[in-house]
Chains A and B, each alone.
Chain A
Amino acid sequence: DAKTTQPNSMESNEEEPVHLPCNHSTISGTDYIHWYRQLPSQGPEYVIHGLTSNVNNRMASLAIAEDRKSSTLILHRATLRDAAVYYCILTPLYTGANSKLTFGKGITLSVRP
Chain B
Amino acid sequence: DAGVTQSPTHLIKTRGQQVTLRCSPKSGHDTVSWYQQALGQGPQFIFQYYEEEERQRGNFPDRFSGHQFPNYSSELNVNALLLGDSALYLCASSFIQGDGDEKLFFGSGTQLSVL
Contacts and interface: CB of A to CB of B under 8 A. Distances in A.
B31 A99 contact: yes
A85 B88 CA distance: 16
Contact of A103 (B33, B44, B96): B44
A98 B106 CA distance: 13
B114 to A, nearest CB: 20
Interface of B is mostly: loop
Nearest to B94: A99
A41 B48 CA distance: 23
Nearest to B32: A99
A2 interface: no
Interface of A is mostly: loop
Interface stretch (A20-28, A42-50, A62-70, A75-83): A42-50
B101 A32 contact: yes
Given A44-B90, A46-B105, A49-B103, A105 B41 contact: yes
Contacts, number: 80
A95 B33 contact: no
Size bin of chain A's contact surface: 20 to 34
A101 B104 contact: yes
B56 A87 contact: no
Interface in B22-77: 31, 33, 35, 41-45, 48, 50, 55-56, 58
Interface residues of B, number: 31
A103 B43 contact: yes
Nearest to A34: B103
A94 B56 CA distance: 12
B84 interface: no
Given A45-B106, A46-B105, A96 B42 contact: no
Contacts of B42: 85, 87, 103-106
Contact of A100 (B33, B97, B99): B33
A10 interface: no
10 contacts: A43-B92, A44-B90, A96-B48, A96-B56, A98-B104, A99-B56, A99-B94, A103-B35, A105-B41, A105-B42
Interface of A: 32, 36, 41-46, 49, 85, 87, 91-106
